[in-house]
Amino acid sequence: MLQVPEPRGDVVFVAYLAFATVFFHFKKGPRQHLELPHSSVLSPFHPLAKFPGPLLSRITKFWLAYVVYTGKRHLEIAKLHDQYGTFVRTGPNTLSINSHEAIRTIYATSTSMDKSNAYRPGRFFGGGLFFIRRKDMHAERRRIWAPAFSPV
């Protein structure tokens, strides 16, 4: 039997997010701290100002967090792309891009630099491909694994 979530639970969740946001902003500093980030993301000089999207997405990520909570993120993002096009602003510093042609530009790397210390495995004691930081060693291991991930 399909269970429909209680609307009261959703209201409590949104109220909690609103309270936590206001509490932590005021806890950190004066009122200007609360107003400055919002005015900067609404500024026409913000790097993402030219990208379309819901007005609420320019101010906060909480609307998208709520959509994720409801389990309908994929539907909402698809609807936004239908409405606004290939590039949609989904947060103050976040874009959603719906283009197969942009994948290589976004995810491919042509740099010969090694990965930063952020890729240290921490407590994971393995030799996973993701955690190999030296470019030459990564390329050698990737060459071995590449056929397993090829669609052909």
Q: pLDDT tens per residue, the chain (152 residues)?
A: 555 555 555 666 777 777 777 666 555 555 544 444 555 566 778 888 899 999 888 888 888 989 998 999 999 999 999 999 999 999 888 999 999 888 877 777 666 677 776 766 665 666 677 777 788 887 888 888 888 887 77
Q: What angle do CA 91, 96, 98 make, to 5 degrees?
A: 165
DSSP notation for the chain: -PPPPPHHHHHHHHHHHHHHHHHHHHHHS-HHHHHHHHHHHHSTTSTTTTS---HHHHH-SHHHHHHHHHT-HHHHHHHHHHHH-SEEEEETTEEEE--TTHHHHHH-----PPP-GGG--TT--S--GGG--SHHHHHHHHHHHGGGG---
pLDDT at 74: 94
DSSP notation for 36-77: HHHHHHHSTTSTTTTS---HHHHH-SHHHHHHHHHT-HHHHH
pLDDT at 36: 47
